[in-house]
Amino acid sequence: MAAVNMNQEMFEKAILGDKPVLVDFWAPWCTYCRRISDAYDRIAQKYEGRILVTKINIDEEPALAQQEGIEIIPTLVLYHKGMTLGSVINPESESAIDEFISGTLSMEQKQKAVHVHDMIIIGGGPGGYTAALYAARSGLDAIVLEKLSAGGQMAQTHQIDNYPGFEDGVDGYELGQKMLRQAQRFGAQTAYAEVTRVDLMAEPKVIETSEGVYYGKAVVIATGAGPRELGVEGEKELVGRGVAYCAACDGMFFKGKTVAVVGGGNSAAADALLLSRIAERVIVIHRRDTLRATKVYHEPLMQAENVEFRWDSVVTALEHEDKLTGVRLKNVKSGEESSLEVDGLFVSVGRKPNTQLFDGQVELTAGGYIAAGEDTRTNIPGVYAVGDVREKQLRQIVTAVADGAVAVHMAEEYLAGK
């Protein structure tokens, strides 16, 4: 029996059936497609009754080829019950096709034997643990994958005054622990593991970690964002030797010394205020002539006797021996350059989203954030982005928490449809 030629209508019906479907995406002008055609027909005879072996001419079905992401031909794709099990491009031999089929079907059987979670949450910050809480209370089998400890960036803040319900403020680490314990009370699990690779297009979705492989029907990405670097020479080498990104974490190392803070937003202003209570002298370096931070920071910063400003300036170089001794500045308006002696440099020029793992699968914005709206849905069905990792107007604990709740609501609808 030769391979069956199909159109899009036949394809969409066939892949939903109980029998696995092997599709060869080919074209008449493709010489290698012609070379494997006899071997492909022999594969059809070998697997007759077990697998439906088919062919689709991409010249006749260009929309289908684009829908399935076919960029090189021949590409062989194996489907089962509406799911893509795997693919192989330019198979070198008949045995290579045979090995692809048997290996992929064997993996599918193994996956059926492993536990598949209703929801996997990558990241244990406020957005991640809110999702875990809401999922567990809804009866979903949810697990949080966290590489270090609960709380994310929040855990590095000693005093949080803008999260409702704590009239005297709350320690960020303790708030993270409270969120962890609350989610666990309703049955959410936590695995301390670092995610190394994901396949969000697979069914179920595959999350590879330092502690093993996890499978989930839905995935919530809550990986947050990290500090953005200045990008000047020697910056990475001087981290811990004068260059820092967290005033709350490292400020006490500079007690009674001179430090500079680069940036003009809320984070930079908060860092400068904190350091003004620790360091002898604090110099704020900002590329504009006024702060971008909200007005609540302006008056206390201007009134602090040991805080001064270098407006319209950028850091062009770091001066150092075995540790930081100063910075080179350039005035962006006049072009004038100068040196500034400092013991420490706190970089607070924004955040960069932790989306490297998902590049090429979920859609990202120009800034590297995940393109997901207020419904938290990404371009991949069953995958949601919450907190600082997604494109949004305001990145705060309260907005991350709201995202976590919304993501579970959307995931419930998705899972019900499945």
pLDDT of residue 112: 63
Cα angle, residue 322 at apex, residues 321 and 323 outer, rounded to 5°: 90
**What residues contact residue 95 under an 8 Å CB cut-off, 6+ apart?**
none
Confidence of residue 319 (pLDDT cuts 50, 70, 90): very high
Higher pLDDT, 395 or 311: 311
CA 265 and chain centroid, separation? 24
pLDDT of residue 110: 66
Confidence of residue 200 (pLDDT cuts 50, 70, 90): very high
pLDDT of residue 373: 94
pLDDT digits (tens, 9 = 90+) for 246-278: 887 788 999 999 999 999 998 899 999 999 999
pLDDT digits (tens, 9 = 90+) for 72-90: 999 999 999 888 899 999 9
Provide, rounded to the nearest whole percent, the portion of the chain with pLDDT above 70. Answer: 99
Average pLDDT, the chain: 93
Confidence of residue 108 (pLDDT cuts 50, 70, 90): confident
For residue 95, the tally of other CB atoms under 10 A from its CB is 10
pLDDT digits (tens, 9 = 90+) for 139-165: 999 999 999 889 988 887 777 888 999
| Neighbour order of strands in the sheet with 307-310 | 243-244, 344-347, 258-262, 281-285, 307-310
pTM over 0.85: no
| Domains in the chain: ranges and CATH | 4-113 (3.40.30.10), 116-226+352-417 (3.50.50.60), 243-349 (3.50.50.60)
pLDDT of residue 37: 92
Confidence of residue 178 (pLDDT cuts 50, 70, 90): very high
Span 294-319, average pLDDT: 93
pLDDT of residue 125: 96
pLDDT of residue 255: 95
pLDDT of residue 180: 96
Position 365, amino acid: T
pLDDT digits (tens, 9 = 90+) for 36-65: 999 999 999 999 989 999 999 999 999 999
pLDDT of residue 75: 95
pLDDT of residue 25: 96
- Report how far residue 378's alpha carbon sits from residue 93's, in angstroms, rounded to the nearest whole number: 38
**Which residues are identified as catalytic?**
246, 249-250
| Residue appearing with tokens 């705060």 | 396
Decide if pLDDT at 304 tops 90: yes
pLDDT of residue 278: 95
Span 196-221, average pLDDT: 94
Decide if pLDDT at 194 tops 90: yes
Span 97-116, average pLDDT: 82
Higher pLDDT, 140 or 298: 140
Confidence of residue 394 (pLDDT cuts 50, 70, 90): confident
Secondary structure letter of residue 234 according to DSSP: T
Provide, rounded to the nearest whole percent, the portion of the chain with pLDDT above 90. Answer: 78
**What residues contact residue 302 under an 8 Å CB cut-off, 6+ apart?**
none
Q: What is the DSSP string of 331-386?
A: ETTT--EEEEE-SEEEE-S-EEE--GGGBTTB-B-TTS-B---TT-B-SSTTEEE-
pLDDT of residue 113: 66
Span 308-329, average pLDDT: 96
Decide if pLDDT at 339 tops 90: yes
